[in-house]
Chains A and B, each alone.
Chain A
Amino acid sequence: MSWLLNHQRAFRLALLRLLQTPFATLFTLLVVGLALSLPSAMYVGLKNLNHWLGHLPISPEISVFTQTDDPAALRTLEQSIRGEAGVSAVRLIRREDALKTLAQQLNINDLVDGLARNPLPHTLVVTLGPDTPPDRYSQLQQKFAALPTVLAVQYDAALNQKLHALRQLVANAALGLGFLLAIAITAVVANTIRLQILTQRDEIEVSMLIGATDAYIRRPFMYFGLLQGLLGGLTALLLLAGFSWLTQPYLAEFTQSYGNTFIPQSLSLSEAIALPVCTAALASLSAHIAAMRHLHRMRPSL
């Protein structure tokens, strides 16, 4: 029970210290919050970009042309394509429809009417999942080409490559930025702990002299860091919410120009919970290490 009591007291002490210096606390929380909101905003942006790319009419597709006219053979072909990993949708464009569209687009109705027979094949349009790597496309192209009744397989390799590269770039940038800012948070928290320890120097010294263990002295600082991380994470969520509220009208205007198929994405509930939890863990770890280092340095001066 004394273990629980010790933790309760340390937590209360940490909370008290935070509240005793409201302005310093506020600024620290803002710094941590801002440092966190940037990669979080970037993450949300990436999420939206991915979502948007998935809804673009130019999303990379593989067109499989087939020579068969037999409905059963068509169905078998469609099923074997659907069975491949990474395939998210298969759409059949019948040769009659294709000819009609072509005639309309090129305005050559008369010419088409004069044709003895439809020269176009049936086409299966294959859409792959948004995270499919570019080499999977070429793999599938070869696979589909080897299927029975297939005439040819076509896809826009260059566009596909570009989209993939774009996504990779944003993802890596967000990751790198997140890493840098995790370091920033660690430094901010470690610094506030250092200042805390300096102002509490007398108390720490006396506590050591009357039989306080290192863990006892470290504990309030750890909770101090934990609270800073937790509240900093929540501040970041608030900033993020404010930011998306401000940008919402402009985003809506933008997406409308793409036919409104796109609903802006925000952090999911689990992501919104994970953010403050992760920062709290990071901050308490940083506080623990900072306290350990500084207390260790203090000992010989007794």
Chain B
Amino acid sequence: MISFSQVSKRFKGGQQALNNVSFTIESGEMVCVTGHSGAGKSTLLKLMAAIELPSNGTVLVANQNIGKLRPAAIPYLRRNLGLVFQDHKLLYERSVFDNTALPLLVQGVPRDEIGKRVRAALDKVGLLGFEKALPVTLSGGEQQRLCIARAIVSRPAVLLADEPTGNLDPEYARSIMDMFKSFHQVGVTVVIATHDETMLQYMGGRTLSLSHGVLQ
């Protein structure tokens, strides 16, 4: 599903985020990416979503070469990915429903279909009944769950989550991780970047460990 082959990423300022990284994630696999902050976890995920392009090497996602993708093809690649961002990237003046519906609107899904799928996604993350609420009225954990609902609403084959349990207490973090586990169980490929050791142990599965941009 996702394959990195001798991938390096150097930013414009000369900072080396990834150095000669190679690995493969099979379809339906659940993988955690770990490492100290600044180790290149976020960059790794961004390369998968074509938010950044590799400086060297080949990144293949769903058989598409990220480095050689036409700009017009990028949106269609991203529609197969569910992204959970470290900073949530919610629209704060839009309701919970509208935030969740955004990926479906972008894909031109009809209105009644949107209603059904948004409610299903909100149900999965336990936010049913909050449709009309604004994100600011939600707690940090609820905002994270809203972000997850938006990521899964279009039923993507791959879920990429960057520090999904960042500032949450352990109890709450575990419930979030349980959600990812359940997505994995229904066949979704899940990639989670986290620096939280207890979460790594809780998740099980394969771990990719990064240190200063190098895979250990």
B72 touching A209 by the CB < 8 A rule? no
Q: Please name 20 pairs of A and B residues whose Cβ atoms are closer than 8 Å in the assembled complex, sorted by A.
A: A1-B110, A2-B107, A2-B108, A3-B108, A5-B108, A5-B110, A6-B108, A9-B105, A205-B89, A206-B89, A206-B90, A209-B49, A209-B83, A210-B102, A210-B154, A211-B81, A211-B103, A211-B107, A214-B72, A216-B106
Q: Which residue of B lies closest to A205 (CB)?
A: B89
A1 to B107, CA, bound (A): 12
The answer to the question of B117 belonging to the interface, with a C-beta cut-off of 8 Å to chain A, is no
> Considering the complex, which residues of chain A in the window 1-26 have a beta carbon less than 8 Å from any beta carbon of chain B?
1-3, 5-6, 9
Q: Which of A1, A6, A206 contacts B102 (CB 8 A)?
A: A206
| Contact status of A211 and B76, CB under 8 A, knowing A5-B110, A202-B91, A203-B91 | yes
The answer to the question of B51 belonging to the interface, with a C-beta cut-off of 8 Å to chain A, is yes
A65 to B189, CA, bound (A): 100
Q: Which residue of B lies closest to A203 (CB)?
A: B91
The answer to the question of B9 belonging to the interface, with a C-beta cut-off of 8 Å to chain A, is no
- Could you tell me the distance in whole angstroms from the C-beta of A118 to the nearest C-beta in chain B? 88
For residue B79, which residues in chain A have a CB less than 8 angstroms away from its CB? Answer: 210-211
Known contacts A203-B94, A209-B89; can you find 17 more A-B pairs with CB under 8 A? A2-B108, A3-B108, A6-B108, A202-B89, A203-B91, A206-B91, A206-B102, A207-B102, A210-B79, A210-B106, A210-B154, A211-B103, A211-B107, A213-B106, A214-B71, A299-B71, A302-B51
Q: Which residue of A lies closest to B92 (CB)?
A: A202
The answer to the question of B41 belonging to the interface, with a C-beta cut-off of 8 Å to chain A, is no
Chain A interface residue count, CB cutoff 8 Å, equals: 21
The answer to the question of A212 belonging to the interface, with a C-beta cut-off of 8 Å to chain B, is yes
- Could you tell me the distance in whole angstroms from the C-beta of B12 to the nearest C-beta in chain A? 9
For residue B154, which residues in chain A have a CB less than 8 angstroms away from its CB? Answer: 210-211
A213 touching B72 by the CB < 8 A rule? yes
Chain B interface residue count, CB cutoff 8 Å, equals: 26
The answer to the question of B124 belonging to the interface, with a C-beta cut-off of 8 Å to chain A, is no
Total of A-B residue pairs, C-beta within 8 Å: 58
The answer to the question of B195 belonging to the interface, with a C-beta cut-off of 8 Å to chain A, is no
For residue B109, which residues in chain A have a CB less than 8 angstroms away from its CB? Answer: 2
Q: Which residue of A lies closest to B110 (CB)?
A: A5
A5 to B106, CA, bound (A): 11
For residue A205, which residues in chain B have a CB less than 8 angstroms away from its CB? Answer: 89
A binding-site residues for B, Cβ under 8 Å = 1-3, 5-6, 9, 202-203, 205-214, 216, 299, 302
List the 3 closest pairs (A to B, CB-CB), nearest first: A2-B108, A211-B79, A211-B78
A212 touching B106 by the CB < 8 A rule? yes
> Considering the complex, which residues of chain B in the window 64-86 have a beta carbon less than 8 Å from any beta carbon of chain A?
71-72, 75-79, 81, 83, 85
For residue A202, which residues in chain B have a CB less than 8 angstroms away from its CB? Answer: 89, 91
A245 to B150, CA, bound (A): 57
A209 touching B108 by the CB < 8 A rule? no
A239 to B83, CA, bound (A): 51
- Could you tell me the distance in whole angstroms from the C-beta of A238 to the nearest C-beta in chain B? 34
A3 to B85, CA, bound (A): 29
A211 to B79, CA, bound (A): 5
A209 touching B107 by the CB < 8 A rule? no
For residue A212, which residues in chain B have a CB less than 8 angstroms away from its CB? Answer: 75, 106
Q: Which residue of A lies closest to B109 (CB)?
A: A2
Q: Which residue of A lies closest to B79 (CB)?
A: A211
Q: Which residue of B lies closest to A3 (CB)?
A: B108
A209 to B147, CA, bound (A): 13
For residue A209, which residues in chain B have a CB less than 8 angstroms away from its CB? Answer: 49, 51, 78, 83, 85, 89
A298 to B84, CA, bound (A): 21
For residue A206, which residues in chain B have a CB less than 8 angstroms away from its CB? Answer: 89-91, 102
**Interface mask (B35-57 → A, CB under 8 Å = 1, otherwise 0):** 00000000000000101000000
